Structures are given as C-alpha cells and as structure tokens.
Structure 1
Amino acid sequence: MPLSEPRARSAINSRTIHCQGFRREDGLWELEASLLDRRAYETSTPFRAPVPAGQPFHAMAVRIAFDSQRFIREIEVAIDAHPFRECPQAVPNFRRLLGVRFDAGFRKEVFARLGGEEGCTHVLNLLFDMAAVAVQTLGSQLRWDDRAMAERIYGLDAQGKPPVVGACKGYGR
C-alpha cells in the first residue's frame, strides 16, 4: 500500500543511499554503497566555494569485502564532497574495521573503534545500512529449508536459534 498523498511542500534536501552486494570470483563477498546529499538551495561551507543548488553537498562511498563468516577482510572509503576540511582525515581510520564481523554487536564495535572524532557520521550510517545488505547478500544464497546454512550465516542465539527468529513480524516464532 503506497503512502497517502502529501500536503503542499517544498523540497529542501535529497539523500540517496545505494547499496549492492556481490559475490567475487575469489570467494569473498563484496558490498558497495554510496551516499549523496543534494540541497535545493545554494549552501555555504567554511572552506570551499558555495555549493550550488542540486550539486553534491555530501558524497561518500564505501567498498567492503567479507568472508562467508561475515568478517571484514578489505575496506575502502572515499569522501569526495564534504562540508569541513577535516572530513577526509577520517578515511584511514576505517581500516580499524578489518577483522570486525557483521553480527549482532556490529554497531557497538564500530562505535568503539570509530566513534566521536575518529570517524564520519555519514560513513558510519552507511556502514550500518551495509550490514543489513551483507545479511541479505548472504541470505540470498541459502535455501530457506537449510538450517545448517542459516546457522553458518546468521549464527545462533543463546536459545540455539538463528537470531533473526522473532526479530520482526515476518520472522515470528
């Protein structure tokens, strides 16, 4: 069912997030994601010329390779449009995520390694979207009736069930 007809309004900001999952020839899985913000008005920034309406205000991209156990093996981050001179200085810090696993503690682990001034808010949010795409990418490769495969991909909770069970209406017990 689509949303209802909106009230009269004016566009201010548009954020596009695009995520894709891939299977690589070397056996790793790969995610690629981008974030693009455009404003409907010219925007000033502290260090660069004003950004014309419709041009990228934020433009970030991330590529992650991970194994079948969901451990991050490679990461590449690009921050191409940003409001502050310091923003790209966070890029090398994202290597701290090598070896981190996409699992229930992912968000907490990312903040422990890249929280505060160590990271970039926009890239961090993109990473959290990518974690969901990682599960979807692996999940698309399993048969729904293959419990052993589901356990390898999702792991098991303390009750011995994949953690997606009970996570939403569709995964009800």
Structure 2
Amino acid sequence: MPLSSPVPRALRHTRAIKLEAFARDDGLWDIDAHLTDIKTIDVTLASGPRPAGLPLHDLSLRLTIDRAFVIVHAEAASDAVPYAGFCDTVGPAYKGLIGLCLMKGFRHALRERLAGVLGCTHLTELAQILPTAALQAYANDVLDTRDGDAADPRPDRPFQIDKCHALRADGPAVALYYPRWFAGPGAS
C-alpha cells in the first residue's frame, strides 16, 4: 500500500543511498555503499556557495567480507564534501572496521571506532545499514534460506525466523510458510 497523497510541496533536498553486493572471483564479497545529498536550490555553506544540483555529499564506502561476514578490507572515498580538505581526509579511519563481523556487535563497534569526530557522520551512518544489506546479498547464495522446502529434514530452523515482525515464530507467516517451525497457538 503506497503512502497517502501529500499536501502541495516543493522538493528541496534529495539524499540517495545505493548499496550493491558483488561476489568476487576469490570467494570474497564486496558491499559497495554510496550516498549523495543534493539540493534543488542554491545554498551558501561556510565554505562557499553550492549551486543547485551539485552534490553536497558524494560519499562511497566499500567493505570486503568473507563468507562469515567478517570484514577483510575497508575503504572510503569522499568525492564531494562541504569542507574540502577536511571532510575528505577521514577515509583511512574506515580501515578500522577490518576484523569486525557484520553480524556480531558490528553497530556497537562501529560507534566506538568511528562515531563523532572519529569519522564522518554520513559514512558512519551509511555503514550502519551494511549488515542487513550483506544478509540480503547472501540469502539464497551463501546462506540457505530453505524457502519453499517444507520437508527439509535439518534440525536447525531457518536463520530468518524471529529476525523480523513478519517472520516471528508464533506468527501466521511462519505457520503458513515454515509450519515445522511454527511456535504459536495450536503448534504441536
């Protein structure tokens, strides 16, 4: 169901975030994240004027991960920033993510290592959404979601159960699509 119809309004700012996951020939994966902020009107920053349509931020972050979601390489690039010569010098700090696991305490460790003045607010914010992007990339490729296999004899339940509202173990979606793992009323 789409959002309701808005009242009359004028677009002033667009933040675009794009995430892409690539399976590499060496068995690792690259998760490329890109963020842009663009104004529809001319703005004056402390560093000078920025014409409408030119990015205030054009930032990229690449994490290379292994099949266990452990970061083996990280790099950041800042191609457009409001404070050139300052914002764009923090990229090497993102190498501090190497060794972290996206699925085990990543967001907490990210804040410890790169929050506030230790990193770029926008790159660090972008990094926060990488765990779920990596999980989506790995689903049905690296991770076996066992979708559509109600007769699967394995004793461990599919990893996605109890990871979101729709797939709660006691909910109707699990009863319908994963009946063996249903834990609600009437479950055997």
After TM superposition, the score normalised by the length of structure 1 is 0.84
How high is the sequence identity, in percent, across the aligned residues? 33
Alignment-derived partner of residue 144 in structure 2: 143
Tell me which residue corresponds to 2:167: 171
Long gaps (5+) in structure 2 = 148-155, 170-188
**In the TM superposition, what whole-angstrom CA distance separates every residue of 1:6-26 from its partner, at most 9, and x where no partner exists?**
110111110110001111000
Q: What do you get for the CA RMSD once the two structures are aligned?
A: 1.9
Question: 1:54: how far off?
Answer: 1.2
Q: Does 1:56 align with 2:55?
A: yes
Structure with the greater alpha carbon radius of gyration: 2
Q: Does 1:102 align with 2:102?
A: yes
Q: Which has the higher contact order (CA 8 A, sep 6+)?
A: 1
Alignment of 1:76-155 (within 5 A): 76-85=75-84, 86-141=86-141, 142-145=143-146
Distance 1:163 1:118 in 2: 34
CA positional deviation for 1:97? 0.5
Letter in 2 for 1:50: P
| Aligned residue type for 1:45 | L
Distance 1:112 1:164, change over 3 A: farther
Q: Render the CA deviation track for 1:46-93: whole Å, top value 9, x for unaligned.
A: 22x411011111110111110001110111110111112421121111
Contact 2:145 / 2:160 at 8 angstroms: preserved in 1?
A: no
Q: Gaps spanning 5+ residues in structure 1: where? A: 147-159
Count matched residues.
Answer: 159
